[in-house]
Amino acid sequence: MGLAYAPLSLMMLQKALPGQEGQASASLNLADVLGTAIGIGAGGAAVAAAACGDLRLGITAALAIAAAVGVVALAFAGRLPAGRGSAPPVTQQVPARAEPPG
C-alpha cells in the first residue's frame, strides 16, 4: 500500500480541477479511512463469528472477504484512464497583454 498511496494522492491532486484540490484531497482521505475501518470491521466480525467454533474458519472468511474486495477493485480499475504514468499538468494559456500605443 505504501507504494501506491503517494502516487495515488499525486494523481488525484493533479487531476483535480483548479480550486478543487481540497475537495479531492478530502475525498481521498475519507476513502482511505473509511476503507480501513470497514475492512477491519468486516474481518473482525468474521473472526468473532467463528470465535466459539473453529478460528481457522473465521480467519479464512476474513481473508476471503479481503480477496473479494480486491477482485471488485480490479474490476473497477478497468475504468481508469489508459496511460503509462501521470499526465503532465494542465497549463492555462495566459493571453498576451496588448501594449498601449505610443
Q: What would the pLDDT profile of 4-40 be if each residue is shown by its tens digit? A: 666 777 888 888 888 888 888 888 889 889 988 998 9
| Burial (CB count <10 Å: 0-12, 13-18, 19+), residue 62 | buried
Percent of the chain's residues with pLDDT above 90: 8
List CB contacts of 3: < 8 A, sequence separation 6 or more.
none
DSSP assignment letter at 82? P
DSSP assignment letter at 54? -
Confidence (pTM):
0.57
- pLDDT tops 80 at residue 93: no
